[in-house]
A and B are shown apart, each in its own frame.
Chain A
Amino acid sequence: MTVFLIFFPLLVSLFIFLVKPAQAKTIAFAASVVELLACLYLTTQFNKNELFQFRLDVPWIQSLGLNFAVGIDGISLVLVLLTTLLVPGIILSTRNKQLSRPHTFYGLVLMMEMALVGVFVALDGLLFYLFWEIALIPIYFICLIWGGEDRGRITLKFFIYTLAGSLFMLVGLVYLYLATPGEHTFALAALYEAGQALSPGEQGFVFWLMFVAFAIKMPVFPFHTWQPDTYTVAPTQGTMLLSGIMLKMGIYGVIRWLIPMVPAGVAEWGPTAVIISVIGIVYGSCIAIVQKDFKRLIAYSSIAHVGLIAAGTFTLSVIGIQGAMIQMVSHGIVVFGMFYIVDVIAERTQTHTLDSLGGIRNVAPVFATVFVIVMLGSVALPLTSGFVGEFLLINSIFQYQYLLGGIAGLTIILGAIYMLRTFQKSMSGEVNNLTASFADLTTEEKWVLYPVVALILLIGIYPAPILELSEPAVTNLLKVYSNLSASVK
């Protein structure tokens, strides 16, 4: 089952690459829907009370200790669901735009889906690393071929930056690999054991090697400098992939590979991570407030949101990590909706500069309403999906440390400022000659945005299914962690 989820998109993408069918988009969309249905079926078969399920473990390159080991627990499942849910939307989001070389494009998107699913289900250190890096290749080419101005330089910076980070992670993984007893192996359980047996000093060392990789991917302040440029220059679908799903790879890495593997390191350096994440929240929000470019604004708001998720994760409490899980889903959906809206605006007015917009509400009321709901999801109004996550996260930080909780709480106020300002500048006011002929949503656009709105409200009103999915895994994770860090102390 898990293997199907990984290789089905790959096979379809190879088919699209090699056969170059005329209906590349339709085939890719159909494949991504099949993938989503498969994932939903898997969810129904999923036993909430067990940890890893649908496992497979076959040797691949034994001389490297590399096994093809995959499996799904609650934490993986939530993220695989998010991935398979967003990819059909991302494929639809090209609308009727005439892309050059459509088969390359859709092939790369599906290949990306393969790598992302792989990252979330890998139970072997080196396999995880491989998928982690494979994910970088399609997104790099999506940005390089279909991106905006000056993309050559910006995407190269993005590539080298993230590659450098992941090489540190690789060194960390190899360090643990060499610490495994007997015949070395990269198996998750063996790496956990090897990591936990290291001295606190060594664990701190490995913590930093791996944390840098995850922090760059998220990105957490001060490792974020590649992000705003890349988000701005990437095509909309690339940005959706980057912020909707790829960003979650970093958080997932922390939860799956960092916390249980080097508990003493996390115990020592976790507070530092919380502090820089909280700095990132304020920093991202403040810069978002003064942005003139809509896409760039969302990029900075993303830094703020992911900072909150990271801070909550490093509080190492059940509500913190559970909040992170649900907020990852919510952020994925909301940010997808946001970028879709930006794309609609950009397509009709040829700009995403806020100052040149205005009055769209008067000519496109349905569009404006959808925008309001997505925006409220972003500023975490109660009854939207954003609220559940942010509430849990801020609560966890508050319990962790009052002052930090207070500062992190600013995210809601600052978020409201920049989002409402955006709404005011683009939607209300008088129409100008750019926006006067702004057409309301077409049927196809409604087909994408209505599910987004529905999900934002649904998760906001009834988040229990998602929370229940990941809860046993999270509780188990923290049990392991607290036992170990207690024994170290």
Chain B
Amino acid sequence: MNALLVICGLGIAALVAEIANLKKWLTAFVIVGLVAAMATIFIDFGTSTMHFSEMLHFDDFSLAFSGLIVVTTIFWFWLAVDYFRLQPHITDRTALVLFTVAGALIMASFNNMAMLFLGIEILSISLYVLAGSRKESLFSTEAAFKYFLMGSFATGFLLMGIALIYGATGAFHLTKIAEFIDANPAGLPTFFYAGVLLMFIGLAFKISAVPFHFWAPDVYEGAPTTITAFMSTVVKIAAIAAFYRVFFVFSSVDHTLTKVIAVTTVLTLVIPNITAVYQQNVKRMLAYSSVGHVGYILLGFLANATESANAIYYYLCAYACASLTAFAVLHAIESYNRSTTVDYFNGLFKRNPILAVAMTFALLSLAGIPPLPGFFGKYMIFAMAIEQGYTGLVIVAIITSLIGVYYYFRIIIAMYFQEPSAEALSLGTSARVLVILLIAISLILTVCADRFVGLPG
């Protein structure tokens, strides 16, 4: 709860900074504030408190996910420092990002459907603006518009679902809904199931699960790279957390939902991974790969709640670390206003070895090659799914991982094998430290995996 307050305060402070003419120090101030928010999460960890008439529930799960969101945001601010420096409206944008994070925290800790809706809207509306923040670019505007339309559409589904569920159970609180379901195992009206399905569709839009993913590649490609990095890490973590909280209330109803999840999982594994093979634009490829990773995470929903939370959490840690690294490198080498194709990476190893090595770490981790954390994440989820008897799904997932190796390695081959197409690339100290730190974190995630696994449960 304290973290949420700190972040909301920071957002308001960022708005005021425009008037008080403190723009120069704003990013540093925000990072300090986020570290403070992280500290409060750290202190609160292990407690379980309810706030606002039990509408928000801060337990280990929500604190662990909030922590991941905040840490990722800190690194993201570091990565995106020039996005703020080089362009106007630094205060507005900083405030928007911070409000997005506030929404994300609510999504990780809601106990009430209204709060879920509020969190999603706070997050989404800020993002619509951010996606369109490169105003002179048509693609950016297109991305914002598309994102807005699809987002509103999904919200419609979500609201309809919430309404139907309220009609059936008479409650907005997740705990009360769960109690009601337990008390009436046979007496649920049909429209309750319709409500669950509608909510599922609404949330599937948000986590970009196939077949509700069509907005993702266009939005990821059109938005400024830094915002894409933000969407594919922080926003994704929050959406998965919200999905988890809702899902495990309804998973006890019956197994119909499990079947829906299984089908969605297969589609989300196969379609984006195959589509990614044909992409020349690296940003678009990463967008498809990020949709593909949702497939692996969905596979993690098929076990019991605690185990699932642990595996999904570790997976997201590994994924966030690797994605941030990949986007940091992409951001460093892309040129303004042109699409970044695979041959942008040609000979990167000769042009700037640190970037090439960092990208290699990121891609190997995303591809799930041991001993990088991406492997352990996949491994946990696969082992869990095999234990639950979903061997067929795991085989599909293994095949799509191999497809993943193919398209990730296209970049690796371009970096090490092709001749450089441009002269050496120099990298600022800050970016270099960031990249090295991210590599170090991915190694820490491997060596101390045990420290992360048990956090949410």
Where the two chains meet, the residues of A that have a C-beta atom closer than 8 Å to any C-beta of B are 60-64, 104, 129-130, 133-134, 136-137, 141, 144-145, 151-152, 155-156, 159-160, 163-164, 167, 170-171, 174-175, 177-178
Contacts of B398 in A (CB 8 A): 167, 171
Indicate if the CB atoms of B382 and A130 lie closer than 8 Å: no
Q: Given A64-B449, A178-B387, A164–B370 Cβ distance below 8 Å?
A: no
Indicate if the CB atoms of B369 and A133 lie closer than 8 Å: yes
Indicate if the CB atoms of A130 and B371 lie closer than 8 Å: yes
Contacts of B449 in A (CB 8 A): 60-61, 63-64
Indicate if the CB atoms of A144 and B401 lie closer than 8 Å: no
Set B370, B375, B387, B416: member contacting A144, Cβ < 8 A: B416
**Does B386 touch A at the CB level, under 8 Å?**
yes
Indicate if the CB atoms of B371 and A133 lie closer than 8 Å: yes
Contacts of B382 in A (CB 8 A): 174
Contacts of A104 in B (CB 8 A): 353
Indicate if the CB atoms of A167 and B402 lie closer than 8 Å: yes
Category for how many chain B residues contact A = 20 to 34
Where the two chains meet, the residues of B that have a C-beta atom closer than 8 Å to any C-beta of A are 310, 349, 353, 364, 369-371, 375-376, 379-380, 382-383, 386-387, 394, 398, 401-402, 405-406, 409, 412-413, 416-418, 449-450, 453-454
Set A137, A141, A160: member contacting B416, Cβ < 8 A: A141
Instruction: Kindly provide the distance from the CB of A261 to the nearest chain B CB, expressed in whole angstroms.
Output: 18
Contacts of B409 in A (CB 8 A): 156, 159-160
Residue of A nearest to B394 (CB): A171
Instruction: Kindly provide the distance from the CB of B199 to the nearest chain A CB, expressed in whole angstroms.
Output: 31
Indicate if the CB atoms of A61 and B450 lie closer than 8 Å: yes
Contacts of A61 in B (CB 8 A): 376, 449-450, 453
Indicate if the CB atoms of A164 and B402 lie closer than 8 Å: yes
Contacts of A174 in B (CB 8 A): 382-383, 386
Residue of A nearest to B395 (CB): A171
Q: Please report the C-alpha to C-alpha distance between residue A428 and residue B416 in the assembled complex, in whole angstroms.
A: 41
Can you pick out 9 interface pairs between chain A and chain B where the beta carbons lie within 8 Å of each other?
Answer: A63-B380, A63-B449, A63-B453, A63-B454, A130-B371, A133-B370, A156-B406, A156-B413, A164-B402
Residue of B nearest to A153 (CB): B413
Instruction: Kindly provide the distance from the CB of B413 to the nearest chain A CB, expressed in whole angstroms.
Output: 4
Q: Please report the C-alpha to C-alpha distance between residue A136 and residue B367 in the assembled complex, in whole angstroms.
A: 14
Known A62-B450, A133-B369, A167-B401; 9 more pairs at CB < 8 Å:
A63-B453, A64-B379, A129-B370, A136-B369, A137-B364, A144-B413, A152-B418, A156-B413, A159-B409
Instruction: Kindly provide the distance from the CB of A213 to the nearest chain B CB, expressed in whole angstroms.
Output: 13
Indicate if the CB atoms of A152 and B369 lie closer than 8 Å: no
Q: Given A63-B310, A134-B371, A167-B398, A152–B376 Cβ distance below 8 Å?
A: no
Contacts of A163 in B (CB 8 A): 369, 402, 405
Residue of B nearest to A136 (CB): B369
Q: Given A144-B416, A178-B386, A178-B387, A63–B371 Cβ distance below 8 Å?
A: no
Set B370, B376, B379, B406: member contacting A134, Cβ < 8 A: B370
Set A64, A130, A141, A160: member contacting B406, Cβ < 8 A: A160
Set A134, A155, A160, A170: member contacting B402, Cβ < 8 A: A160
